[in-house]
Amino acid sequence: MFQNLQGELAALLTAVFWTVTALAFESASKKAGSLSVNLLRLIIALIYLSLFSLFTKGTLIPFDASVHNWIWLSVSGVIGFVIGDLLLFQSYVVIGARISMLVMALSPPIAAVSGWLILGERMNPISILGMVITLTGIILAILGRKTNSDRKNEPASSRFRYRLKYPVKGLLLALGGAAGQGIGLVISKYGMGNYNAFAATQIRVITGVIGFAMVITAYGGWKRVKSAIQNVPAMKSLSLGAFFGPFLGVSFSLLAVRYTSSGIASTIMSITPVLIIAPSALFFHEKVTFREITGAVMAVTGVSLFFL
């Protein structure tokens, strides 16, 4: 039974892994800064992946990968890890992991649109309906009514307007992260082919390390990296997040796509916004409203319809 559900189980584990890593990196980013966290977590993940490769394949570096694998997986690494994750991690600092991951529910629709543009994949009416429901759920969660104090001295005609509950900057950062992950997934699937998922992840991580090293050099941020390394609580969170994120999470997401349809895998992996609500409230004492819970459920429901 379970042998026939390898992809589904891998996708479910991916959702759990990403929930853990989102919370761990939110904590680390607030202690050490998102730029330092991005580089250090990839370096730690590269150590994990290299050791895994050594024990399973007898080599630290995936030299058996083809030129096609290296080129397209490297491109996906730049888009997904460097650009996408840099924006996502900064959104953790601005609006928190819970709302950031809710906006990340847009990643599957973005992946589908990218697949249509890049690979010629078609979108049907159910997919469009799923996208509308997903957007509605996200809007429901991130928009709030004006408070009574906001309504003082306002004309009656404007009292039913909505306002953004969270900073626009943070929402745009999270949206950029969603775009990076969605587009990166399409390109990584194309670049991986039948190649080993963990080795494919290692190639992406190598590119990510090089990319972030260049970004940090350009911004003169090596002192912050050194300071982050000396921050023991931040490094503990980083080690935990790197293990469940770039090492297990990304690798299992590629395994999920390999052993089941991308629609089923993406649907299961998209439950992260729901899984993250309880731990965010428990560990970070974030107030969770009924509207946000409803929005999270709607977003996941929309993604499910999108991939039927």
Q: Give the residue-averaged pLDDT of 201-226.
A: 89
Query: Which residues is 163 bridged to in the sheet?
Result: 144
Q: How confident is the model at residue 269 (pLDDT cuts 50, 70, 90)?
A: confident
> One-letter amino acid identity for 71?
I
Residues 112, 242: Cα–Cα separation, whole Å = 27
Express as a percent the part of the chain with pLDDT over 90: 23
The residue extents of the domains of the chain are: 2-306
Q: Give the residue-averaged pLDDT of 228-234.
A: 86
**Planar angle of CA 18, 285, 233, nearest 5 degrees:** 65
Q: Is pLDDT of 149 > 70?
A: no
- The pLDDT of residue 48 is 94
Q: Give the residue-averaged pLDDT of 6-23.
A: 85
- The pLDDT of residue 159 is 45
- The pLDDT of residue 11 is 84
Under a CB-based contact definition with an 8 Å cutoff, are residues 173 and 92 in contact?
A: no
- The pLDDT of residue 175 is 93
283 burial (CB, 10 Å; 0-12 / 13-18 / 19+) is exposed
Would residue 123 be called left, alpha or beta, if left means φ above 0 and alpha means ψ between -120 and 50 degrees?
A: beta
Query: Which residues is 143 bridged to in the sheet?
Result: 164
Least confident range of 189-203, 217-231, 294-308: 294-308
Q: Which residue has the higher pLDDT, 208 or 134?
A: 208
**Which contiguous run of DSSP H or E holds residue 9?**
helix 6-32
Q: Is pLDDT of 104 > 70?
A: yes
Q: Which among 307, 304, 300, 291 has a CA at the least distance from the CA of 102?
A: 300
pTM above 0.85, yes or no: no
